[in-house]
Amino acid sequence: MQKLTIKEKKEIGWRIKEIRERDLELTQTQFAKELGTTQATISRIEKGRALPTIELLIGIKQLSGKTIDRILKNHH
């Protein structure tokens, strides 16, 4: 499996932040609570310092209605 570049990790984080802010209108703390994780974890993901687990991706999908493909890939 190919490793993601730093740029790709940051892009995933940016898309998750966009979903949280624009679509769900939640703070990091509120989002974390809904997903059963911590605000620090959400912050690391949004900054591209960590990748979301499959469990978090499924949670984001359920909250937002976005596909996992849309969360992970840049579709314009």
73 within domain boundaries: no
| Confidence at residue 2, expressed as pLDDT on a 0 to 100 scale | 77
Count: domains in the chain:
1
**Left, alpha or beta for 18 (phi > 0: left; psi -120 to 50: alpha)?**
alpha
Q: On the CB side of 58, how many CA atoms lie within 13 Å of its CA? A: 4
| Confidence at residue 27, expressed as pLDDT on a 0 to 100 scale | 98
Q: Assign residue 19 the CATH number of its domain.
A: 1.10.260.40
Closest by CA to 29, choosing from 43, 47, 14, is 43
30 within domain boundaries: yes
75 within domain boundaries: no
| Confidence at residue 75, expressed as pLDDT on a 0 to 100 scale | 60
17 within domain boundaries: yes
51 within domain boundaries: yes
74 within domain boundaries: no
| Confidence at residue 47, expressed as pLDDT on a 0 to 100 scale | 97
Q: Which amino acid is at 9?
A: K
pLDDT in tens, the chain (76 residues): 678 899 999 999 999 999 999 999 999 999 999 999 999 999 999 999 999 999 999 999 999 999 999 999 866 5
pTM summary value:
0.91
Task: Provide the domain limits for residue 10.
Answer: 6-67
